[in-house]
Amino acid sequence: MGVDAKQTGILVLLVALGVSVIIALVLSLVRSGEVPVPPGTKYGMVFDAGSSHTSLFIYQWPTDKENDTGIVSQTHVCDVDGPGISSYAKDPPGAGKSLVHCLDEAMSIIPADKQKAAPAYLGATAGMRLLDLQDKAASDQVLAEVSKTISRYPIDFRGARIITGQEEGSYGWITINYLSESFMKYSFSGQWIRPFAYKIFGALDLGGASTQISFIPTVKIEDTKEEAEFKLYGVPYTIYTHSFLCYGQNQALKRMMVEATKGKDLADPVNIPCYPKGYEETLEVQSLYDSPCTEKFAPSTPSTPTFSIKGTGNATECSQVLKTIYDFNSCTGNSFCSFDGVYQPPVAGNFFAFSAFFYTFDFLNLTSGQSLSTVKSAVETYCARDWSELQSTFPKERPDRLRDYCANANYILSLLLEAYKFTEESWTSISFMKQAANTDIGWTLGYMLNLTNMIPSEAPSTRRVQTYNVWVATVFFIVFTLALVLVKLFLYFR
């Protein structure tokens, strides 16, 4: 072998050796962890079968993070055509048929290979609670029919049932704080962090037949019937939660109408201050008493089968009528009481008010943190508007909703201020919200998270990162060096 050839070979070996040393040093400095493989996606579905309508919520999350927080996202919402399933008491199969459109829509959204693993639930709320009280056989049949329909689809259907008012309030509270990352969040430093307690939000929910309030009080809860306990991410929580059946906005307005007509001669038109001036309608007397919430007020012998109403549009008088639907006398002498003799500690902390709370105030442009005086003034202004003016100003709004906004807004004020006892100072703690983290606020997400055990009762351990990088670099260096030595010896003795 010539001198030039040997020198060239040695030079090549030195260069290769230098490159291997550089690679080894780089590998020793880089911390490797788990190989980043794109996770799969899992889907879940929850039907919110409310008193006035049903909605289907579709959620999705990475399959490798089912016990992490803040990773479930809302994929789609489908509003079921027609009224709530409790309205199908005399036609139970119709309740099942009403869900078909949204189920078909869900199957077009969830990939075919993910459908069988998608957990699906139907939770019925206050409308079905009332039907269950009124006619349990009809209630059971409605649930059986919706279950039959959902079971025909290739999903992991886990049942349809009536959830309790306390569950509805609790799951709404879980949803809000989960989406707000109030329970636990993963920090940039790779640690699970528990936020400070002041970030825990209270929940105010208003539906058609019931309303719920849930929060962590600053005093001990004296009535254990009104408390719920959870252990989420290893942290125990005790919240006050109560659901008032018959005090959702639809049932409250039915109660308002009963009070407005009480003792009146129904042969003459009845003035309704909660309805706009110029609004007139003829109603059946029986329509006021066809609910378990009002049937006890029905006269034994109605003087007339129908009666006429006339709106007078007066917010002050409307508020006075609405206050009569509460029984405040049962709270006399007890400062820790809301109404109807129900124990409630003083409200504390910040609250999210959603569902009908939001929709009513959103229509009135009152969801931007306005002061209480501004809210009251806006409600008074709306109530004073003429019915024909409202119809021409909002031609696309449903007439029944347009008619009811004055009544609903005054009911919300009476519920929050008179019943739940918020004050002018604590009013600023209420945020009227529809969504958090691009996900609708309500009980459905909390319900799914609970039933799928996606929120662990123990805190997730800190993720471990294997520091085997130095060994990889060392082995690489030794093997590569030995290979170079062998090549050098081969060239030298050739």
Active site residues: 168
Burial class (CB in 10 A: 0-12, 13-18, 19+), 26: exposed
Rounded-to-integer distance, Cα 116 and Cα 113, Å:
7
The dihedrals phi and psi of 270, each to the nearest 5 degrees, come to: -100, 130
Rounded-to-integer distance, Cα 189 and Cα 106, Å:
38
Rounded-to-integer distance, Cα 328 and Cα 392, Å:
40
Contact assessment for residue 182 and residue 195, using Cβ atoms and an 8 Å cutoff: yes
Q: What is the CA radius of gyration of the chain?
A: 32
Locate 3 and state its tokens.
């001198």
Q: Which residues pair with 242 in a beta bridge?
A: 213
Q: In angstroms, what CA-CA distances link 181 with 94, 307, 318, 438?
A: 40, 52, 40, 13
Question: What is the CA 169 to chain-centroid distance, rounded?
Answer: 10
Please give the single-letter amino acid code of residue 331: C
Q: In angstroms, what CA-CA distances link 317 with 277, 313, 323, 373, 414?
A: 13, 9, 10, 18, 12
Where is 220: in which H helix or E strand? none
DSSP string over 183-198:
S-EE-TTS-EEPPPGG
The 8-class DSSP code of residue 213 comes to: E
Locate 286 and state its tokens.
């029986």
Locate 129 and state its tokens.
């609670």
Where is 23: in which H helix or E strand? helix 3-29
